[in-house]
Chains A and B, each alone.
Chain A
Amino acid sequence: MKPRDHNPIGLLGMNGLLLRSTLVVIFVSLLASLVAVFYTAHVTHQRAYEHSQRRLNELLNTVESTLQVACFAKDQTLAGELAQGLLNNSDLLAVTITSENQILADKHRQAADAANNGPPALALNRLIYSPFDNQKQVGHIVLKPDLRVIEVRIQDEVRFAAIQLSWQLAMVVFAVAAVMLLFIVRPIKAMSDRLHSMDPTTGDRLPIPRRHSRSEIGQLVNDINALADRLVNTLAAEHHLRLAREIDERKYHAIFDNAESGIFILDDTGSLLSWNAAFGRLFEISETGPENEFAWIKISLMAWDNPDQIASLSQSALRQTGSVNDDLLIYLANGKRRWVNIALSPVGENLLQGIVHDVTPHKDAEASARQLVVTDPLTGLANRLGLEACLRSQIQEYALTQSGDFTLLLLNLDEFRSVNEGMGLPAGDSILQTTANRLLSCIKNGDSIARLSADSFGIILKQMTLTDVVEKICNRILEAVRLTHFVDGSPINLHASIGITRFPLDAGDVPNLLRQAELALDNAKASGGNTHVFFDPVLAETAEHQRQLQNDLRAAIQNHELVMFYQPIIDLRTQRLTGAEALLRWWHPTRGMVMPDSFIPMAEKSGLIIDIGLFALDAACRQLRDWQDQGLDYTLSLNVSGRQIPDGLSPAKLHEVITHYGISTSRLALEITEGVMLQDIQKSLHWLNEVHAMGLRIYLDDFGTGFSSLSYLKQFPIDTLKVDKSFVQDMQPDNNEHTLVGAIIAMGRSLGLQIVAEGVELPSHLAALSEMGCHFAQGYYFSRPVPAEEFPATADEIAVLLTKTAARGLQ
């Protein structure tokens, strides 16, 4: 701290406290003494007169008795003597003694002159009474005082008083000045001088003047020192604060300048008041902020893709207390586009602070990710999400414009899976790609195609719901799909099924549209494929029916509504009943008996087949046990669905149940279809081998209807072939079926397999089959499937029938 320039005040300087106070004291004293002198003069004057009067009175008192005598006796001589005596008093000018009407004496001082005639009021006039009767006036005397003499005496007295007073005042002034000098001015002067040169920051403090430790001066010094302490502390704190603030400011400035993010300040009119270098780089403007306030830039006038967005963003930021942010697209001078994320937060006084990031890479990545999400990588078409998004946007648009009806096609390649598995995945992929291209060529620009799953496609025909036009397009598509594919030179022929639903005719939302299209597709598939089906409410009803049935089936297992029926199987060589095929029947509480065709596919689809299979196994084993107990050596064949293999009906479970009922494994046969082979071949094969090793026999059911691949017969542990009833039923001498059945039997036999012919209905069938060397037969000729309790009766009937037949044969 620099000491202030100062001009030390001399102890007696013009501005010195002492001089000033002394002058004041003198002035006041003079004033007081003047007043006092005047007052004293006045009082003295008064007193002098009174004194004079009193003396004259006293004078008169001393001569009164003589005066009385003189006046009583009217003695002029005596009166003259008296008057002369009185005149000896210097105060008196004249004496007049009068007795009744006669003047006894009238004496004047010689020196007196006319000018000295005082006012009559000042004359002393006294009545003289008789010495013998103080009621009786005998004369009077008049004394005239000598005013001049009195005045002179008064003046003397006043002068004396004034001098006295002046003396005293001078003493007082001197005393006051001395006391002030000693007790006030000198300590203050010392303090003042010390204070001038004091630097409180170095710990300099005022000493308390001697003998003043308890006086006001000591108090003052203490207060000044305390003030200095506080001042120094405050200064130090302020200094620290300023230093910290400077550091902070420098720090923030550095952050502001070096930030990678663009930082800016915006006012409520949308003008950019300041911005940092990153902001300048981001928008390719000056990197140092605006030059001056005329160089402010309106943020809404920048080349935004949508200037309304930034305006509304800043408006909402001004309305709120928190920050708002949005991604905005801006075009730069060279035509580049840039996505920026702007976060605005109010900082008071209608100002907004903004932070800008370049989010172009994020946006691009996001867009491509979004694209990926909705795109099928194999065909480049949209995927299910893409289709759903497209449907949603179509529906939304319709809601806004009330126009834009459309048709949704779901297309599924029939039996594509077998191609995929038979030819390998690359072949399947190639076919799917080709199909996608063919589909694209069938629709007009603007329609959408998506690949929903492996072999199903969704097609949106926009602005189109006319039935015949849609039909025409569907036919065109089916035709295109049917065109022969060539995979590695091999020709492959495929066809497809199409389910059709229309918006808003059939459904108003995406899930319903998809479900309806799937229902229609299922229907098309169910009717054999290579066709299209429009959604129909009946389909929905059917689906509902199916769903209901499925619920009922689930309950049926618990309610024991499922029962096992048995269809006898006849050994053609021995002409005896050798066993039966176990067949499920469902006693539905309201619909009556339901055939397996109606519920087994559903059970397979829903997984209920597992429970049903276990039930069937249990029932079959129990039946075998019953027969065994009755001494009957019947065999029983049980249908096994592909869905039960390998885990639904595990070898362990089979073993457990068979062991439980204590039956021979050789009595139980499992019937499988070729469909089992189409699943995971390795797993299926493993299961079959294991089961076969347990001693169970394996029947291949429905032989001739599927692929009937001969390689399977060699590969799998098959014991018996069951010729499908469709061949046997239609068998007539020398027709194709007859030949086919003969060929199957011959082939089976040559492979060492046993043959069961199903669907034997006529004696001619029986004869032909026997001739062909078929081992076993089953069918209505012998018996329908019957409940267990009817089986013994049926066995008896068959025995009779066989006897008859044998007799006829013998004939």
Chain B
Amino acid sequence: MRLKLLFSSLLLSLLSQCACAEPVVVVNARNGVSQLSQDEVINIFLGRYRRFPGGAAAIPIDQPENNPLRAEFYRKLVNKDLNQINAYWSRLIFSGKTSPPKQAANSAAAIQLMLSNPGGISYLERDQVDSRFRIVMEFQP
């Protein structure tokens, strides 16, 4: 049973790897920020410090749970899977001091949220990026 599970998950990861699109961190094109370091992206997305270097508030937006891009993004950003990210947030949630990023219902909703919030920051597949967005960080291959 467990072997089967392991096998299917391996297969799954292989498929997703194959189908993987490369996530890039983007902000609203109207936002003045042009470049962010990976640490700055981590601080924003994991609730430590949610401001852009210019001091403007940053509003991180997560892709829906089922979007493979989300898992790929966190893996590349802090080398954690989504379960771990969820466990992290579960420890912080109850103190109420900070909160996880806003979660879009689907990919289009995520883009919508980005466009509606000048301080919005999210991650997209490279081919999804258009003039409305600006890429502020790319993961090293």
Chain B residues lying within 8 Å of A69, measured Cβ to Cβ, are 88, 91-92
| Interchain CA distance A233-B59 in the complex, whole Å | 123
Main SS of chain B's interface residues? loop
Main SS of chain A's interface residues? helix
Cross-chain contact of A75 among B78, B80, B95 (Cβ < 8 A):
B95
CB pair B46–A75 under 8 Å, yes or no, is no
Interface members, chain A 629-669 (any B CB < 8 Å): none
Interface members, chain A 46-98 (any B CB < 8 Å): 66, 69-70, 72-78, 81
Task: Let me know if A132 is at the binding interface, CB within 8 A.
Answer: yes
Known: A72-B46, A73-B47. A131 touches B88 (CB 8 A): yes
6 closest A-B pairs by CB: A77-B95, A132-B78, A69-B91, A78-B95, A75-B95, A75-B97
Chain B residues lying within 8 Å of A66, measured Cβ to Cβ, are 91
Interface size counted on chain B using CB atoms at 8 A: 14
What are 20 sample pairs from A and B whose C-beta atoms fall under 8 A apart?
A69-B88, A69-B91, A70-B91, A72-B48, A73-B47, A73-B48, A73-B92, A73-B97, A73-B98, A74-B48, A75-B95, A75-B97, A76-B97, A77-B95, A77-B96, A78-B92, A78-B95, A132-B42, A132-B79, A133-B78
CB pair B92–A132 under 8 Å, yes or no, is no
Interface members, chain B 19-59 (any A CB < 8 Å): 42, 46-48
Interface members, chain B 85-101 (any A CB < 8 Å): 88, 91-92, 95-98
Contact with B along A124-137 (1 / 0, CB 8 A): 00000001110000
B interface with A by C-beta (< 8 Å):
42, 46-48, 78-80, 88, 91-92, 95-98
| Interchain CA distance A433-B92 in the complex, whole Å | 186
Least CB separation from B98: chain A residue: A73
CB pair B80–A132 under 8 Å, yes or no, is yes
CB pair A75–B88 under 8 Å, yes or no, is no
Chain B residues lying within 8 Å of A74, measured Cβ to Cβ, are 48
Chain A residues lying within 8 Å of B42, measured Cβ to Cβ, are 132-133
Least CB separation from B92: chain A residue: A73
Chain A residues lying within 8 Å of B97, measured Cβ to Cβ, are 73, 75-77
Chain A residues lying within 8 Å of B91, measured Cβ to Cβ, are 66, 69-70, 78
Q: How far is the CB of A131 from chain B (nearest CB, A)?
A: 7
Least CB separation from A70: chain B residue: B91
| Interchain CA distance A126-B121 in the complex, whole Å | 35
Cross-chain contact of A132 among B46, B95, B96 (Cβ < 8 A):
B46
Chain A residues lying within 8 Å of B95, measured Cβ to Cβ, are 75, 77-78, 81
Q: How far is the CB of B79 from chain A (nearest CB, A)?
A: 8
Chain B residues lying within 8 Å of A77, measured Cβ to Cβ, are 95-97
Least CB separation from B42: chain A residue: A132
| Interchain CA distance A634-B132 in the complex, whole Å | 227
| Interchain CA distance A157-B78 in the complex, whole Å | 48
Most chain A beta-carbon contacts within 10 A, residue among B79, B80, B92, B96: B92
Contact with B along A753-770 (1 / 0, CB 8 A): 000000000000000000
Least CB separation from B74: chain A residue: A132
Q: How far is the CB of B100 from chain A (nearest CB, A)?
A: 11
| Interchain CA distance A87-B47 in the complex, whole Å | 28
Chain A residues lying within 8 Å of B80, measured Cβ to Cβ, are 132
| Interchain CA distance A656-B70 in the complex, whole Å | 195
Contact with B along A118-161 (1 / 0, CB 8 A): 00000000000001110000000000000000000000000000
Chain B residues lying within 8 Å of A81, measured Cβ to Cβ, are 95
Give 9 A-B pairs besides A132-B80, A133-B78 with Cβ atoms closer than 8 angstroms: A69-B91, A73-B46, A73-B47, A73-B97, A73-B98, A75-B95, A76-B97, A78-B92, A133-B42
Chain A residues lying within 8 Å of B46, measured Cβ to Cβ, are 72-73, 132
| Interchain CA distance A105-B48 in the complex, whole Å | 18
Contact with B along A594-624 (1 / 0, CB 8 A): 0000000000000000000000000000000
Q: How far is the CB of B54 from chain A (nearest CB, A)?
A: 22
Chain A residues lying within 8 Å of B78, measured Cβ to Cβ, are 132-133
| Interchain CA distance A66-B89 in the complex, whole Å | 11
Chain A residues lying within 8 Å of B98, measured Cβ to Cβ, are 73, 75
| Interchain CA distance A131-B79 in the complex, whole Å | 11
Chain A residues lying within 8 Å of B92, measured Cβ to Cβ, are 69, 73, 75, 78
| Interchain CA distance A771-B19 in the complex, whole Å | 227
Chain B residues lying within 8 Å of A75, measured Cβ to Cβ, are 92, 95, 97-98
| Interchain CA distance A77-B96 in the complex, whole Å | 9
Most chain B beta-carbon contacts within 10 A, residue among A70, A75, A76: A75
| Interchain CA distance A133-B95 in the complex, whole Å | 23
Least CB separation from B47: chain A residue: A73
Q: How far is the CB of B93 from chain A (nearest CB, A)?
A: 10
| Interchain CA distance A75-B97 in the complex, whole Å | 7
Least CB separation from A79: chain B residue: B95
| Interchain CA distance A77-B98 in the complex, whole Å | 11
| Interchain CA distance A132-B81 in the complex, whole Å | 11
| Interchain CA distance A69-B93 in the complex, whole Å | 11
| Interchain CA distance A131-B89 in the complex, whole Å | 12
| Interchain CA distance A73-B94 in the complex, whole Å | 13
| Interchain CA distance A514-B95 in the complex, whole Å | 177
Chain B residues lying within 8 Å of A132, measured Cβ to Cβ, are 42, 46, 78-80
| Interchain CA distance A77-B91 in the complex, whole Å | 11
| Interchain CA distance A745-B80 in the complex, whole Å | 211
| Interchain CA distance A73-B47 in the complex, whole Å | 7
| Interchain CA distance A73-B90 in the complex, whole Å | 13
| Interchain CA distance A74-B98 in the complex, whole Å | 10
Q: How far is the CB of B141 from chain A (nearest CB, A)?
A: 20
Chain A residues lying within 8 Å of B48, measured Cβ to Cβ, are 72-74
Q: How far is the CB of A484 from chain B (nearest CB, A)?
A: 192
Q: How far is the CB of B34 from chain A (nearest CB, A)?
A: 24
Least CB separation from A74: chain B residue: B48
Chain B residues lying within 8 Å of A70, measured Cβ to Cβ, are 91
Most chain A beta-carbon contacts within 10 A, residue among B47, B88, B98: B88
Q: How far is the CB of B50 from chain A (nearest CB, A)?
A: 11
| Interchain CA distance A131-B48 in the complex, whole Å | 12
Least CB separation from A131: chain B residue: B88
| Interchain CA distance A66-B47 in the complex, whole Å | 15
| Interchain CA distance A414-B79 in the complex, whole Å | 185
Chain B residues lying within 8 Å of A72, measured Cβ to Cβ, are 46, 48
Q: How far is the CB of A129 from chain B (nearest CB, A)?
A: 13
| Interchain CA distance A131-B7 in the complex, whole Å | 29
| Interchain CA distance A76-B96 in the complex, whole Å | 11
| Interchain CA distance A66-B78 in the complex, whole Å | 17
| Interchain CA distance A74-B78 in the complex, whole Å | 18
Contact with B along A542-567 (1 / 0, CB 8 A): 00000000000000000000000000
Least CB separation from B49: chain A residue: A74
Q: How far is the CB of B46 from chain A (nearest CB, A)?
A: 7
Q: How far is the CB of B51 from chain A (nearest CB, A)?
A: 14
| Interchain CA distance A73-B100 in the complex, whole Å | 12
| Interchain CA distance A133-B43 in the complex, whole Å | 12
| Interchain CA distance A75-B91 in the complex, whole Å | 10
Least CB separation from B97: chain A residue: A75
Chain B residues lying within 8 Å of A133, measured Cβ to Cβ, are 42, 78
